[in-house]
Amino acid sequence: MDTIIRMARPEDAPALLAIYAPYVEKTAITFEYDVPSVEEFRGRIEKVLERHPYLAAEKDGEILGFAYVHPFSDRAAYGWAVETSIYIACDKQRMGLGGRLHGALEAVLKAQGFLSMNACIAVPEEDDEYLTRNSVQFHGHLGYRLVGEFYKVGYKFGRWYNMAWMEKHIGPHGPDPRPPIPFREAWEDIGGIV
C-alpha cells in the first residue's frame, strides 16, 4: 500500500509523540526541553484541529510523519498567515515524506484562504551534532525565502542557537481578502488528500 496523507486524529497522539520525542531529547530542532505527556500532546492536536490542518503520513497502518500549522500570531491582522511544523520519523527521513506533507498542507491552506506560510527554523551558527541548516535548505527547495535570522535566541544542550525566519506566499495579497474558512470545511471541499 502506498503512503497516504490523512487528517490526524487525537487518538494518534501516542504515535505522533513517539516521532516527536527524539527531536526533543536529541536535537535542537525544537527548543522544547521536556517531552510532553501523551495527554498534553493530544490536547495540542485537538487545539490545532479546531481551525487548522494537522496531517499524518501513514503507510500500512504506521504513521511515518506529521505536519501542522498554527496561527502566526493571535492578532487579527495576521489572520491570513500561519506557521508550519513538519516532523518525520527518524528512520523514515529522506524518502520524500516531508515534501508530500508540505504539499498537502499547502493545498488545504490555499483551499481555506490562507495567503502566507511561515517557517520558524532553529539553526546553528555552525552545524553540530544537535542541529544543522538542512531545514533551511529543505524550505528553500519548497519555494520559501529567507527573511531574517535572530542570533543566539535559543539555549539548549549548553549552546546558543539562532532562529531563521522563512516565508512562502501561496495566494495574492490584494485588498479585502476573504477570511479563511475552518480546516474541516476546506478538507471536505477538496475531498481529502491521499
Q: How many CB atoms lie within 10 A of CB 94?
A: 7
* pLDDT for 95: 80
For the chain, percent of residues with pLDDT exceeding 70: 98
Over residues 91-101, the mean pLDDT reads: 88
Q: Is 85 exposed, middle or buried (0-12, 13-18, 19+ CB in 10 A)?
A: middle
Over residues 44-66, the mean pLDDT reads: 95
Over residues 111-126, the mean pLDDT reads: 97
Q: Domain 4-179 classified CATH 3.40.630.30?
A: yes
Give the C-alpha distances (Å, rounded to integers) separating 129 from 28, 29, 121, 133: 9, 11, 16, 12
The angle subtended at Cα 108 by Cα 105 and Cα 114, nearest 5°, is 95
The angle subtended at Cα 129 by Cα 100 and Cα 33, nearest 5°, is 80
Domain boundaries, the chain: 4-179
Alpha-carbon gap, residue 55 to 187, rounded angstroms: 11
Whether residue 59 is predicted with pLDDT greater than 80 in this model: the reply is: yes
Residue for cell digits 511561515? 118
Query: Confidence band (pLDDT; 50, 70, 90) for 92?
Result: confident
Alpha-carbon gap, residue 62 to 64, rounded angstroms: 6
DSSP-assigned beta bridge partners for residue 29: none
* pLDDT for 169: 98
* pLDDT for 91: 87
